[in-house]
């Protein structure tokens, strides 16, 4: 079973195919008498694309968070993501019917590049939407200060702004929590769920064994009342 989330919104029918394009920015140059050389660069942003069905009637195979929603609801969510132009989380969870995670989920901050709405007589009143996403990376700023000396040329110094390190905090797991929600709520970045898991691995695994699990499935199984340390 696959679950596709755009932000906090679960798509009713999981796409049958997800295409992930991972590119690089390597540069090829030709040197005199040396032939071609390849200059490795920082990898480019990942592109994701898929096509999903938005049912106009409630099907038994569809999944809804809070009851059946018409296609117009999901189309309004897509339009809002496009108009706002802000990054949001994209998650794909792979689970068995009993809720056990098969492997690590796909979790990535993305932006909505475009979406295409299709209506086909073969699909009745249902809508089909093609969605293109692009990975989002945060970036920082640098401050340049010019210092002038009387007997020499001006020198430029670079000051890199960094947040002060905060003291370590704790968090008590509540009913309905998962590591992604905790990371988003407490750290402001749900992609840091793995940092929480690694910092509390022994505690999380011990709790899973206490409740009869062989393991926590990399932090998928967590339990109310367990106290976690939060990374700075």
> What does the pLDDT look like over 33-63, one tens digit per residue?
667 777 777 677 889 999 999 999 999 989 8
What is the C-alpha separation between 166 and 215, in angstroms, rounded? 31
Count of beta carbons in the 10 Å neighbourhood of residue 110: 21
pLDDT tens profile 154-171: 565 655 655 555 567 899
* 138, two tokens: 């945060």
Question: Could you tell me if 25 and 41 are in contact, meaning their C-beta atoms sit under 8 angstroms apart?
Answer: yes
Average pLDDT, the chain: 83
Asked if residue 3 has pLDDT above 70, the reply is: yes
pLDDT tens profile 173-191: 999 899 989 998 999 888 8
Say whether domain 2-139 belongs to CATH 1.10.357.10: no
For the four alpha carbons of 199, 202, 204 and 205, in that order, the dihedral sign comes to positive
Query: In the structure, what pLDDT confidence band is assigned to residue 114 with cuts at 50, 70 and 90?
Result: very high
Asked if residue 87 has pLDDT above 60, the reply is: yes
What is the C-alpha separation between 99 and 191, in angstroms, rounded? 21
What is the C-alpha separation between 127 and 119, in angstroms, rounded? 5
Of 139, 140, 135, residue with least CA distance to 23:
135
Query: In the structure, what pLDDT confidence band is assigned to residue 143 with cuts at 50, 70 and 90?
Result: low
User: What's the mean pLDDT in 116-130?
Assistant: 88
Give residue 113's pLDDT: 93
What is the C-alpha separation between 38 and 178, in angstroms, rounded? 43
What is the C-alpha separation between 18 and 104, in angstroms, rounded? 16
3-state secondary structure 199-213: HCHHHHHHHHHHCCC
Ranges of each domain in the chain: 2-139, 165-232
Asked if residue 222 has pLDDT above 90, the reply is: yes
């Amino acid at each position: 079973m696959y679950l596709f989330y755009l932000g906090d919104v679960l798509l009713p029918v999981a796409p049958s195919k997800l295409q992930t394009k991972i590119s690089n920015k390597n540069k090829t140059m030709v040197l005199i008498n040396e032939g071609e050389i390849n200059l490795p660069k920082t990898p480019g942003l990942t592109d994701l694309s898929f096509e999903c069905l938005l049912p106009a009637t409630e099907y038994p195979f569809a999944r809804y968070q809070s009851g059946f929603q018409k296609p117009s609801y999901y189309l309004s969510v897509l339009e809002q993501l496009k108009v706002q132009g802000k990054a949001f989380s994209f998650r794909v969870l792979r689970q068995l019917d009993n809720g056990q995670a098969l492997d690590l989920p796909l979790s990535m901050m993305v932006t909505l590049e475009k979406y295409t709405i299709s209506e086909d007589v073969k699909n009745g009143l249902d809508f089909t939407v093609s969605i293109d996403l692009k990975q989002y990376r945060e970036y920082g700023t640098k401050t340049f200060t010019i210092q002038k000396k009387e007997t020499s040329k001006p020198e430029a110094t670079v000051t890199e702004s960094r947040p002060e390190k905060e003291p370590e905090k704790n968090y008590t797991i509540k009913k309905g929590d998962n590591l992604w929600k905790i990371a988003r709520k407490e750290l402001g970045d749900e992609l840091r769920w793995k940092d929480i898991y690694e910092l509390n691995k022994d505690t999380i695994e011990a709790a899973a064994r206490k409740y009869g699990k062989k393991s926590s499935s990399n932090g998928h199984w967590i339990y109310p009342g367990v106290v976690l340390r939060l990374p700075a």
